[in-house]
């Protein structure tokens, strides 16, 4: 018998300071940013994924400030893959097959639409060193091949420049 389970990301140790950085960024109050939207479209095209997004991890929600291939503007933080990524600023999180990863296999984003199997995300860090969210690419098919994390990181640095201006 299979039991569906997923593990919401724990809060970072300095969560209150990270949350202050999210508020200071103004990202949650901004309208759609054409530069951020261009970056996610480039990521989707470059990595041949149907979904790419720039997320901001807020207190209880994950907000998509730019996205392609997603209809929703937000998800609960508990279901967020990017909430796991913000724990290691500067280090990408790659999940080749979410159905084989105990942290995600029962996640509603895996078991129902958009049926996430593959995820790669690079934390987006502000000037003070706090991860605000992530640039991520997502596919409904698992991926065993290596992802060019250098290329994804370059796109993330470009997004950080837009965010920090």
Distance CA 77, CA 57 (A): 7
Would you say 131 and 85 are in contact if contact means Cβ atoms under 8 Å apart? yes
**pLDDT digits over 21-63, tens only?**
999 988 887 767 899 999 999 999 999 999 999 999 998 999 9
Say how many C-beta atoms besides its own lie within 10 A of residue 7's C-beta: 14
Structural class in CATH, domain 15-164: alpha beta
* Of the candidates 128, 117, 121, the residue with the CA atom closest to the CA atom of residue 159: 121
> Does pLDDT of 67 surpass 70?
yes
What is each CA distance from 82 to 3, 53, 87, 95, 153, in whole angstroms? 24, 10, 9, 11, 15
Backbone angles phi, psi at 22, to 5 degrees: -60, -45
Domains of the chain by residue range: 15-164
Q: What is the pTM of this model?
A: 0.91
Q: Which helix (H) or strand (E) holds 47?
A: helix 34-47
Q: Return the percent helix, strand and coil in the chain, to nearest 5.
A: 35, 25, 45
What is the predicted pLDDT for the residue at 89?
85
**pLDDT digits over 91-144, tens only?**
999 999 999 999 999 999 999 999 999 999 999 999 999 999 999 999 999 998
> Does pLDDT of 4 surpass 80?
no
């Amino acid at each position: 018998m299979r039991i569906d389970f997923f593990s919401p990301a724990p809060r970072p140790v300095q969560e209150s300071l990270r949350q202050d950085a999210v508020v200071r960024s103004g990202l949650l109050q901004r309208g759609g940013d054409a530069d951020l939207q261009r970056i996610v479209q480039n990521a989707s095209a470059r990595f041949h994924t149907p979904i790419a997004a720039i997320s901001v991890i807020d207190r209880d929600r994950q907000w998509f400030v730019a996205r392609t291939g997603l209809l929703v503007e937000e998800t609960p933080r508990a279901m967020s893959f990017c909430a796991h990524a913000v724990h290691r600023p500067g280090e990408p999180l790659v999940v080749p097959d979410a159905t084989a990863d105990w942290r995600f296999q029962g996640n509603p984003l895996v078991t129902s639409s958009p049926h996430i199997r593959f995820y790669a995300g690079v934390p987006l860090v502000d000037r003070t060193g706090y991860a605000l969210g992530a640039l991520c690419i997502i596919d409904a098919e698992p991926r065993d091949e290596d992802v060019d994390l250098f290329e994804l990181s370059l796109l993330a640095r470009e997004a950080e420049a837009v965010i920090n201006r």
